[in-house]
Structure 1
């Protein structure tokens, strides 16, 4: 399956981190541009499967302009990021497969909307599963089972496990994990990572827990 090509266009960093995390676990290549750079780069042709565009200014004018760019490419689709004040006058293009999402939406919602646009009717595909020994992590449904039996993880326990298992062999510091899993707006101490790791190991059992290694003085890694 060919990797999808995604263009992320924004003139602020308000939603960049959330979309970066959502896209990092998908089979896509991403290019990030400012709106001005996007205009220049796509003056002749739009060579992407999905455009994620954070709209500022006159929403109607921007959507009309983007519809002209996208309608020439039959397979192109778009996800427009808008603020709440723009909803009353929002009128999505009719000639383009598209959707919208509110600025500040959760990572889970961003992921769901992107998958619906890129893989309609097949949001759960082979890339949504991580299989290690008898454990299966379903990245689309946020579920984990071992030998067919579901494990009861809290959301953050699941998110931490899924993140590490999605990046095997890479060591992450506690601060890096807080940033990637908990988010920039989390103000708790880094030891909360240790607490969640202990809980994850206990629920996985001794054999699977061996994959979640402590790197002394640094943090944690998932070793396959």
Structure 2
């Protein structure tokens, strides 16, 4: 494989430092990398696909939620080129078969690994395989979860309360989603720490309490009681009976 034409979509600033900051191993390879913001429109010309790069990389290191949304937008474009998602080490545990990317790579991967992944992606026969399914494709979209007037939409990674969007961090979103998926169930602090922060997190359960407090504050005084504290055990998310779906 010779020199490939790659595009990196990233929110990292300055853009000139994006490649060595997001995927240092790539910076040591001879490929030509063009950096753009998270606007997939750069791959289009007057509504039509421009000349496609050999490979599109998406930065989920700088902003995980924005990067994931960009992956979904790329899937909807039905590009003919492969898409490689670049993630932080701790975020790799979030990847599953439904992710709209052809491969993933940790930000700390060295040039040998990065080069191997690029070669495999570019050499893979994509004919007959088609793009990653977008809406209406082979993978069903996750349904939004509603408890009371709180709606957690996994497809768009967004939360609305009383019809208004909530500005949550990634961990706050993951924590709320985990609780909302188990309405009425008491979840221990240890389990929340394990499921939301991961087995490799060495902090204590105090961080769970801090994030719960922030979640309640963002839900507002009229909804903070949806998250109940079970003294000495953990937390429970509850809404009006029959309002879980």
In the alignment, is the contact (CA less than 8 A) between 1:123 and 1:140 conserved in 2?
no
In the alignment, is the contact (CA less than 8 A) between 1:137 and 1:162 conserved in 2?
yes
* Change in 2 beyond 3 A, CA 1:177/1:205: same
CA distance in 1: counterparts of 2:214 and 2:176, whole angstroms: 11
What's the TM-score, normalizing by structure 1?
A: 0.50
Partner of 2:133: 117
CA distance in 2: counterparts of 1:98 and 1:81, whole angstroms: 18
Structure 1 stretches lacking a partner, 5+ long: 1-14, 27-51, 53-77, 100-115
In the alignment, is the contact (CA less than 8 A) between 2:150 and 2:162 conserved in 1?
yes
What's the TM-score, normalizing by structure 2?
A: 0.46
- 2:207 counterpart of 1:192: yes
Partner of 1:86: 116
1:130: Cα distance to partner?
A: 1.5
Higher helix share: 1
In the alignment, is the contact (CA less than 8 A) between 2:147 and 2:238 conserved in 1?
no
Q: For 1:89-100, what aligned pairs fall within 5 Å after superposition? A: 89-90=119-120, 91-97=123-129
In the alignment, is the contact (CA less than 8 A) between 1:124 and 1:140 conserved in 2?
no
* Change in 2 beyond 3 A, CA 1:157/1:124: farther
- 2:165 counterpart of 1:150: yes
Q: 2:194 aligns with which of 163, 174, 179?
A: 179
Partner of 1:166: 181
- 2:233 counterpart of 1:218: yes
* Change in 2 beyond 3 A, CA 1:160/1:194: same
Aligned residues: 140
In the alignment, is the contact (CA less than 8 A) between 1:171 and 1:221 conserved in 2?
yes
CA distance in 2: counterparts of 1:190 and 1:79, whole angstroms: 35
